[in-house]
A and B are shown apart, each in its own frame.
Chain A
Amino acid sequence: MPDEAGRSAATKAPPGKLLATDLVDIYRVMVLSRVLDERVWLLNRQGKAAIVASAQGHEAAQAACVRATDPSRDHYLIYYRELTTLLALGVTPLELLKGFLARAGEPLSGARQFPTHGAFGRVDLFSFSNVVGTQLPQAVGVALADRMRGEPRVTIVYFGDGAASQGDCHEAMNFAAVHRLPVVFFCENNRYAISVPLMKQMAIENVAARAAAYGMPGVTVDGTDVWAVYEATDAAVKRARSRGGPALIEAMVERLYPHTSDDDHTRYRSPEDIQRMRSKDPLPLLEAELRKQRLLDDATHAGIWAQAKRTVDEATEQAEATPFPDAGDFARGVYAAGS
């Protein structure tokens, strides 16, 4: 695979085990995500990007999860805070920036939708709604179709703690468990549904505790720990692929930025809470671990960041030079006829 940042992470990992190359790839895609995420905030503050929902704090969980799946055949139903997942699946920074800047040729929805929403051609990626949780029963339907055709594909559906309160979440998990469908429910629990803290969302500590009630395994992992996320996902994917049924993984993460660029988390998070969560930034945590294991030296580290910055700089320039989509075809694609 070319060493273009992020792209090589879409290759399949050896089953069950993270190699040194995997770890560096994971770190590389996390760095690319962070640099791109920061750039989009900048573009937002410049009035060029209308909205951004940051993935900062979620990068390790997303990158490690994708690494344990098979992008050549699996399905990914994601939600709005999945920048690292998108990069790990091979969507390029230029393609994503065309989304943030709503430019022509944006591949997911032709810039009809919010950034990162729509469907993607090179990987079976579906990222549709802003009504939280709707992707959960849809993912179950995707898996049902695979089951009916006897195809050994796995559907990974991503959602936050907020979505876990939706009735659709319950209905989806229940149906998937009844029919033992190949679904991995991947919950990124950052403890906030916009401003509502976990203790006001549920009376239990963890979303994963609900899995037992549906008759499927559920596990809570530290979402900054790429080994833990990888192993949990790998086990769930293998189980699903071998007709063992669905599983629920809950990755505990921090949302380092407000809900979106239109939010201000100082209105509802204490300074202590904000200070404390900074210690759970997955990038320095993984960097320290990789250095400890002698998988990352100063030169490699500097190279990864420089490459990411160069890639994002170039992509920004190209995206900004791209025109907005032609409004002439805005009515196309309502029905099959006339599409």
Chain B
Amino acid sequence: MPVMTVVEAVREAMREEMRRDRRVFVMGEDIGARGGVFLATDGFVQEFGEARVIDTPLAESSIAGIAIGAAVNGMKPIAEIEFADFAWPAMNQIVGEAARIRYGTNGTKCAPMVVRMPYGGGVRGGLYHSQTIDVVFAHQPGLVVISPATPYDAKGLLKAAIRGDDPVVFLEHKRTYRLVKGDVPQEDYVLPIGAADIKRPGSTLTAVTYGLMVHYCLEAARLVEGEGIDAEVVDLRTLAPLDRATFLESVRKTSKALVVYEDYLTYGIGAEIAATIAQDAFHDLDAPVMRLAGPDVPAMGFAPTLEAEFMLSPARIADAMRELAAY
């Protein structure tokens, strides 16, 4: 089984889907001759031609809006927003329009499209190349929001997203692109949307997380395992629709929950997960649900010291695990 990086898995998923379905095409800034700023579409224009690999003007709202129109008219667009930070001009077309088309036409039209966005910090990206904006999408009924952590999940979930009939925001953590490698089958496979995955079984506590933080939590679990702390790591993989059953079952087993996310703490995904656990697993808890997240500060600083202060780290997560285990 070949070993791939996350960005290679993303590329493979798109390439395979474009080969199998003429309706699938890619559009976005610098995705043609440049192959995308992260090379996610490297070689595509040579293989599929300019008609299916569309270099767009620098105009995010129309990237999303044109994708909607093409999707409503029978195509399967994959739109790339160069950085999630640049999605704000497209927000109205994604959240205000794409998410509501099936509902607002009483089910007679839909916009089956994928909007891919590299996101997240730890790459010296400063204010406008580091943002995590997942919950803005996850709060909107009608959108599917996926954020894989591994190459295997990235390929299987992206292929499922492309084949589906819903608008999907597909968030790829930039730091995982080349850092994370893993086995990826060469054969065709898809993974179920809306299914979390236990990345590490454990008995002391449950860490609920996604994206880059899956790897940080796994590293933190290794840091504390010699101390008698056996952390279970639940990778949500899909943020909407949210798989509540998997983390609830885990928490019922371990009795302790730590939600780890890179986004701002307040009104973040931790609130939803903590509320779900409080409501549905209250009597199984041996400790308050703990959240470890980014600070309520507008953005990650550019200087390495400022960035490190904002970002979570395996060491900080390990400290939180120790605190929760000791409760």
**Residues of A104-160 whose CB lies within 8 A of B:** 108-110, 112-113, 117-119, 121, 126, 128-129, 131, 134, 136-146, 148-149
Contact with B along A166-182 (1 / 0, CB 8 A): 01100110110010000
Q: Could you say which of B57, B73, B89, B104 has the most chain A C-beta atoms within 10 Å of its C-beta? A: B73
With contacts A140-B69, A336-B164 taken as known, whether A134 is within 8 angstroms of B59 at the C-beta atoms is no
The bracket for how many chain B residues form the interface is: 35 or more
Interface residues of B in 71-126 (CB under 8 A from A): 71-75, 77, 89, 92-93, 96-97, 100-110, 112
Expressed in whole angstroms, the Cα–Cα distance for A108 and B105 within the complex equals 6
Does A293 interact with chain B (Cβ within 8 Å)? no
Which of A239-247, A257-265, A311-319, A327-335 forms contacts with chain B?
A327-335
Q: Are A145 and B69 in contact (CB under 8 A)?
A: yes
Known: A131-B92, A142-B73. A168 touches B62 (CB 8 A): yes
Q: Are B106 and A126 in contact (CB under 8 A)?
A: no
CB pair A137 B65 closer than 8 Å: yes
Nearest-CB residue, chain B, relative to A75: B73
**Residue tally, chain A, CB below 8 Å to B:** 42
A270 within 8 A of B: no
Q: Is B70 an interface residue (CB 8 A)?
A: yes
Whether the pair B110, A336 counts as a contact (CB closer than 8 A) is yes
Q: Which residue of A lies closest to B25 (CB)?
A: A148
* B residues in contact with A148, CB < 8 Å: 25, 51-52, 70, 75
Q: Which of B104, B165, B166 contacts A128 (CB 8 A)?
A: B104
> Which residues of chain A are near B241, meaning CB under 8 Å?
335
In the complex, A118→B101 CA distance in Å? 8
The reply to whether B102 and A118 contact each other, CB–CB distance below 8 Å, is no
Of B105, B107, B166, which is within 8 A of A332 by CB? Answer: B107
Of the residues A113, A118, A143, A174, contact of B57 by C-beta under 8 Å: A174
B239 to chain A, nearest CB (A): 14
Sample of 15 further A-B pairs with CB below 8 A, known A128-B100, A141-B77: A109-B106, A118-B108, A119-B105, A126-B72, A134-B97, A138-B66, A138-B69, A138-B93, A140-B65, A144-B66, A144-B75, A145-B69, A174-B62, A334-B102, A336-B164
A positions within 8 Å CB-CB of B: 75, 77, 108-110, 112-113, 117-119, 121, 126, 128-129, 131, 134, 136-146, 148-149, 167-168, 171-172, 174-175, 178, 332-336, 339
